Structure 1
Amino acid sequence: MNIGTCTLVGAGPGDPELLTLKAVKAIEAATVLLVDDLVNTDVLQWARPDARVVHVGKRGGCKSTPQAFIEKLMIAAVREGEHVVRLKGGDPFIFGRGGEEVEHLREAGIVCAVVNGITAGLAAVSSLGVPLTHRDRAHGVLFLTGHAKPGEAGVDWVQVGATAHALHLTLVVYMGVSRIAQLQQGLLAGLPGHTPAAIVRDASGAQQQHWVTSLAGLADTAAHHGIASPAVIIVGDVLHGVHALANDRVHGVVRTASA
């Protein structure tokens, strides 16, 4: 039997120029590409002409291809001798369900390689010109999901807020817009209402938008602007730097992403 290969590839947050060289090489070598909905299709310019491209949409709040079906496709294609690339937005191992796919492939006797990509949370803060961590403002960062598994309560936002306040952490929340009011209420139990907050939509993409507000104004900002996924929510004192950069921009020193 001619066994093929499988590689999970992070396509990054949107800008195709943020692909790693290793990701480009994997795409060029693929005979089958299983592409998530959040992947910028411009990255397919590196695919070989005879590669089979299968779009297996996975977007929060929308109808998606069942995960079990995707895993069956991957296993079947590898067993047919194909060089499979599972192309995911951001990084496969940060809220990309890459861990589940690797486990199922291993159970099927298939070794899977992983190529990391720039995750949307990092791209989002970078687009604002501020860091995730800072010696004076943030001693660490928490990446969290706002999307609870069916039947589960999800993240304890009260505890998260208290921990972030005690340890001076930046919070980066994926898939949290649909539950932003609940998230805000919980965080306010531990964090001051004036804590800076931001929402970045389509981070690094051509249509990127961002809104900077406070934790107390987070849900109202999302509702007023009709913000929808894909968006990343950032909460923390590192965002004070956005206002500093805006002041510098007046003097022609730097430019921030357009809002």
Structure 2
Amino acid sequence: MAFTRATGKHRGASRAARTTRKFAGMATLAATGVVASVASPALAATSQTHAEDTGLQQAVVIGGELADRLEAQADAQHAAAEAAAAQAKAEAEAKRAAAEAKRRVEAAEKKAKAEREAKERAAREAERKRLNTFVAPVAGSYVSTGYKASSSLWSSGSHTGIDFHAASGTSVHAVGSGTVVEAGWGGSYGNNIVIKMHDGTYTQYGHLSSIGVSVGQTVTPGQQIGLSGATGNVTGPHLHFEARTGPDYGSDIDPIAYLRAHGVSV
């Protein structure tokens, strides 16, 4: 038999139903994010506690600290990059400066070497010219007796050299560079000097009144080696000059041709 509720005054919902509806409403409000005005103070307090415990504030704080750390790290990296770039630039400048200094030193050394070589060449050329320079044995004189002139005055029957006109005491010069191999009395030549020239030939200077060099001494072109005179077999003061292929008598060659071949005008 079915029973129906009578019309009229209704009974209130049961405790179980009310509780079920409350939880359902709270769930709905919680889902929408809205706190119901009908919630009890205790529920509101509980809801507030739950809101504070969501971790959003902590996440914001942590996020800010992380951003600061990232910014500081970026600044440090940027500063390190700038320092590295500055160091690289300084090293490059130092390398360029060192290279430039090295280039200047090498250029200076090259210039100094070139100057030394030029001086050495000039010195060698001067020495070559000096060695190859010849002068007349008596300045401003002339040949008074020629080569191979015949006369009974000479034991060989002919003149083995040439005579330069010169008063006694006139300066006599070495005709070129060489070394003295004889300096002293030479018999019929009187006081005489024999010089071995740098090219291997020999020259002789006879009838001197005085001798100014000694054996072994080197002489240069135009150097005074003695004074003319009339010692030995002579008829008057003059200079007897010979050119030879060897140091001894009998190796004579034409003195005029010899001097002219060396640039001396006689």
TM-score (norm 1): 0.17
Which one has a bigger Cα radius of gyration?
Answer: 2
Q: Which has the higher helix share?
A: 2
Q: Taking CA–CA contacts closer than 8 Å with sequence separation of 6 or more, which of the two structures ends up with the larger relative contact order?
A: 1
